Amino acid sequence: MTAQEKFDLAYKYLTGDGVAVDVAKAAGLFEEAAEAGIAGALYYLAMIIQGFDPQGAIELYEKYLDKRPDDSDALFALGALYCDWKKPQQWNPEKGQRFLERFEIIKDKNGGVKKLPFYTCMELGEIYANSGLVRVRENYGKHDIKYIRKAKEYLEEAVAKGKENPNVPPELLSLLEEQLSNQISRIEAHDAIVQGFNELQHGLNKIIR
């Protein structure tokens, strides 16, 4: 088989297109196709192994992005892996945010958040909500609030899409609504502090003048 034929057969095993799903066979064929220079095989192999070998998946996604730097799916997947604070061995939010920023640029060119699927909105909402909680906070007002506002945007869209999708469990939708409410409260608290500070500064400036 040629490298392309191996890739095509691997995809069939992964998706069950005309054959029984066999992820192990798919992974083996994708690996052979990748070694023969098929760039897309790197992406699918990374997708297969990221659940049990996240560091290996990171390396594969990065190799794939060297070849296809504007693939939004890979940028999102890699950013999400680096931002997974539940796995400290790979957690690197600064690096993750750089990949997500590239993803955001492409997303905006392709129609914005409303064009994204439910689970992508949900995962991005969670990533941005927690980046504001766990990263080292310097200049909180200007730095973290940006991510909290992004979390609100993605969670709003996830909730809207979840309400329209009968396959989304009610428990999950309820959790997303709670997370959205938390982000709104955080934004309101931040904005109230900023407004109070600005009013105080304005009052002091009047006294000084």
Sequence-distant (6+) residues with CB within 8 A of 169 are none
How do the domains of the chain map onto residue ranges? Answer: 1-49, 117-209
Between CA 189 and CA 187, with CA 108 as vertex, the angle to 5 degrees is 0
Is residue 102 within 8 Å of residue 74, measured between CB atoms?
no
Give the least confident one: 27-31, 89-93, 97-101, 109-113: 89-93
Give the least confident one: 55-59, 120-124, 141-145, 184-188: 141-145
DSSP, res 90: T
Q: Which CATH class is domain 117-209?
A: mainly alpha
- Reported as a pLDDT band with limits 50, 70 and 90, residue 196 is confident
Check pLDDT > 60 for residue 121: yes
Q: Which residue's entry shows tokens 């950013």?
A: 79
Mean pLDDT, the chain, whole residue set: 88
| pLDDT value for 133 | 54
Separation in Å, CA 153 to CA 24, 65, 120, 179, 186: 38, 27, 12, 12, 13
| pLDDT value for 135 | 52
Q: Mean pLDDT across the stretch 25-39?
A: 95
| pLDDT value for 139 | 47
- Reported as a pLDDT band with limits 50, 70 and 90, residue 1 is confident
Q: What is the pLDDT of residues 131-171, one digit of tens each?
A: 655 554 444 445 578 888 999 999 999 999 999 999 999 99
Q: What is the pLDDT of residues 53-95, one digit of tens each?
A: 999 999 999 999 999 999 999 999 999 999 887 777 888 888 8
| pLDDT value for 141 | 47
